[in-house]
């Protein structure tokens, strides 16, 4: 009897695994059947996902999402939501994925899966164009840095010996550097590239950057390996055929994939 029960349990477990494997590919099949990839995004986070003057949803992440969907042979449908509840929309199956500069972290990977990274950002040291006295993070010792006081960038500036001048964010930090009220700011490379794209003549420059980058990826429910693989293939394809480069240059004037 025990032997029979063991066989029965093993058979049930095997059936459970096979159901799980079948379910793992079900979402990709459903997406292709429906002809739509539902993408969660904020719509308020320029230059990644925002509304232009006509009201249309645009941005780097929006175009990446459309390019991925096209490679999957479907249409991208964007569903907007506030950041605080955006990722939770995956759990509620409101959409299939979120494309909204979601950082790939170990904590998030415990509950969700990610595509391969599709964009990288680094901490960069920014000074006025005519400042030749600061060329490294070590040169911040004894200088002033315009920073959000609670940010990781502020902590890095402080660790480098800088005296912090508190700001509300990137735009204010850059203005303090431009007006000479701060010697430098440590900030996000993507924010700087976006700023220079909008204001190419602004007299500021990057003089140093951290070696380690932070990466963002397409986030999706755990276990949907077929969808994950399909998205990764789509990302590889748009990089190979020049689509990614064109989108990257349009919004940042540089390759932001690494």
Task: Domain count for the chain, please give it.
Answer: 2
101 in a structural domain: yes
- 9 and 97 in a single domain? The answer is yes
- Which range marks the domain in which residue 131 is found? 123-212
Looking up tokens 């990288």 gives 120
CA dihedral 3, 7, 13, 16 (to 10 degrees): -150
- Cα separations (Å) of 88 from 103, 111, 115, 144? 15, 11, 18, 40
- 116 and 221 in a single domain? The answer is yes
Q: Which of 180, 197, 212 is the last residue of a domain?
A: 212
DSSP the chain: -HHHHHHHHHHHHHHHHHHHHHHHHHHHHHHHHHTEEEEEE-S-BTTTBEE-TTS-EESHHHHHHHHHHHHHTSEEEEEE--HHHHTHHHHTTS-SEE-S--B--HHHHTTEEE-S--EEE-EEEEEETT--S--SGGGGTTSEEEE-TTSHHHHHHHHTTPEEEE-SSHHHHHHHHHTTSSSBEEEEHHHHHHHHHH-TT-SEEEEEE-SS-EEE--EEETT-HHHHHHHHHHHHHHHHTTHHHHHHHHHHSS----
- Out of 2-6, 209-213, 228-232, which region has the weakest mean confidence (pLDDT)? 2-6
143 in a structural domain: yes
- 221 and 206 in a single domain? The answer is no
pLDDT of amino acid 149: 87
Q: Work out the pLDDT band at 244, boundaries 50, 70, 90.
A: very high
Residues 29-55: pLDDT tens digits? 999 999 999 999 999 999 999 999 999
Residues 74-119: pLDDT tens digits? 999 999 999 989 999 999 999 999 999 999 999 999 999 999 999 9
173 in a structural domain: yes
Q: Work out the pLDDT band at 205, boundaries 50, 70, 90.
A: very high
Residues 183-197: pLDDT tens digits? 999 999 999 999 999
- Residue 155 sits in a domain of what CATH number? 3.40.190.10
For residue 69, pLDDT beyond 50: yes
For residue 122, pLDDT beyond 80: yes
pLDDT of amino acid 9: 45
258 in a structural domain: no
- 168 and 233 in a single domain? The answer is no
pLDDT of amino acid 25: 57
- 27 and 130 in a single domain? The answer is no
- 91 and 146 in a single domain? The answer is no
190 in a structural domain: yes
Q: Work out the pLDDT band at 21, boundaries 50, 70, 90.
A: very low
- 12 and 109 in a single domain? The answer is yes
pLDDT of amino acid 226: 97
129 in a structural domain: yes
pLDDT of amino acid 151: 87
- 9 and 99 in a single domain? The answer is yes
């Amino acid at each position: 009897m025990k032997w029979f029960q063991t066989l029965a349990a093993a058979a049930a477990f095997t059936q459970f695994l096979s159901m799980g494997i079948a379910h793992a590919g079900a979402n990709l099949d459903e997406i292709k059947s429906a002809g739509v990839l539902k993408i969660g995004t904020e719509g308020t986070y320029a230059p990644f996902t925002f509304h232009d003057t006509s009201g249309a949803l645009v941005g780097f992440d929006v175009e990446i999402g459309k390019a991925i969907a096209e490679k999957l042979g479907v249409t991208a449908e964007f569903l907007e939501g506030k950041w605080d509840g955006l990722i939770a929309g995956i759990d509620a199956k409101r959409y299939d994925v979120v494309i909204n500069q979601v950082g790939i972290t170990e904590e998030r990977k415990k509950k969700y899966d990610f595509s391969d990274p599709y964009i990288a950002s680094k901490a960069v040291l920014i000074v006025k164009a005519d400042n030749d006295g600061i060329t490294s993070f070590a040169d911040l010792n004894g200088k002033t840095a315009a920073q959000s006081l609670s940010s990781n960038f502020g902590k890095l500036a402080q660790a480098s010996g800088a005296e912090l001048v508190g700001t509300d964010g990137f735009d204010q930090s850059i203005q303090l550097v431009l007006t000479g009220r701060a010697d430098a700011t440590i900030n996000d490379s993507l924010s700087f590239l976006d700023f220079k794209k909008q204001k190419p003549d602004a007299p500021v420059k990057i003089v140093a950057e951290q070696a380690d980058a932070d990466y963002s990826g397409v986030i999706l429910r755990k276990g949907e390996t077929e969808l994950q693989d399909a998205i990764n293939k789509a990302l590889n394809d748009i990089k190979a055929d020049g689509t990614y480069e064109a989108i990257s240059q349009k919004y940042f004037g540089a390759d932001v994939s690494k």
